[in-house]
Amino acid sequence: MRIQKNISLKKYNTIRIDVIAKEFVKINTDEEIQSLISSRILKNKKFFILGDGSNILFTKNFDGIIVKINTKGKRVIKENSEHIFVKVSAGEDWQNFVDYCIENNFAGVENLSLIPGTVGAAPVQNIGAYGAELKDVFYELQAIEIESGKIIKFTKSNCEFSYRNSIFKNRLRNKYVIISVVFKLHKHPKIKLEYGNIKQELEKSGIINPGIIEISNAICNIRRNKLPDVEKIGSAGSFFKNPVVDEEFFIKLKNKFPEIPAYELPDSKYKLAAGWLIEKTGLKGKTFGNAGIYKDQALVIVNHGGASSEEIIYVMEKIQKIVFEKFRVKLQTEVNII
């Protein structure tokens, strides 16, 4: 474990904002995490725990220490007639874990294919896509409490999961470092086809009775066609959450915009498609300086090269303002703004 000074974070965030971290350390083992915490560095300095930087916008140089979690490992720890439990280190690439599950016919994460990020960051955000969320397959996690250095186990109820949210984004923010996650996966797949264009994508290939590998491949194809390759165009993925509105407001919107897509939720709530709202303002594909809205997916703000955080924020606020003026809906960011 070596602490480096004045390190550019450009290659450590997928939207490619070039800011400097005063200090930077890459963690390769759980023992190194424990050593770092016992040194009390994290108690005495500003810090940020970093996965692969896929859901982050750095707005300025970071006057503290960036802790890059790079731990690896995954293994089956137990199973029964219906489920298999897999323990995965926090630094594992999420898609590598999904591929591992597909190869071993462990079902449950196939609808979460090609989501960028690390396994340790997944429960913090309660990642989700195509009708599935992390919490659907979550069993427990282990995290080190920064104050005491103790390893604490969190069950699903402890994590207070909600839409793109968890206790680690709120009440326990910067209180723990997640070191591993245990997933409860299915031996007998429960196929989910209802969300988005999954059925249409399968039909293109003539697939009638898909398994988890076909679902994963279909979703990967959809995402590749809609989202930019971050190796070529900087982005932080979906920049905004899909807004949730009550039934009375939704009916008013539906009367004014009959074609508006929505997903009915419990308690008379409706989830709107943020990308659709943005697209209907005419902003899709627009460029403002070095930043803009991606041409194939209005939910994505892109860095066309050399964009500053100020330019990204300008585009973000412009989208929020115009969407609110047209629909009276407030868009909240999914990206963490640091």
Is 259 labeled as catalytic in the residue annotation? no
Inter-CA distances, 170 with 6, 138, 146, 234, Å: 29, 19, 16, 27
Give, as one character, the DSSP assignment of residue 304.
Answer: -
Give, as one character, the DSSP assignment of residue 241.
Answer: P
Please identify which residue in the block is written with the tokens 């992390």: 134
Give, as one character, the DSSP assignment of residue 227.
Answer: S
Q: Residues, the chain, total?
A: 338
Spatial contact of 102 and 110, defined as CB atoms under 8 Å apart: yes
Catalytic residue among 164, 180, 223, 235: 164
Catalytic residue among 113, 216, 238, 309: 238
Is 238 labeled as catalytic in the residue annotation? yes
Spatial contact of 141 and 183, defined as CB atoms under 8 Å apart: no
Spatial contact of 129 and 219, defined as CB atoms under 8 Å apart: yes
Is 40 labeled as catalytic in the residue annotation? no
CA distance 331 to 240: 6
CA distance 229 to 237: 10
CA distance 148 to 333: 32
Q: Is the dihedral of CA 77, 80, 81, 83 positive or negative?
A: negative
| Core vs surface per residue 15-54: b (16+ CB within 10 A) or e | bbbbbbbbbbbbbebbebbbebbeeebbeeeebbbbbbbb
Three-state SS at 57:
strand
| Core vs surface per residue 219-228: b (16+ CB within 10 A) or e | bbbbbeebbb
Catalytic residues: 164, 238, 334
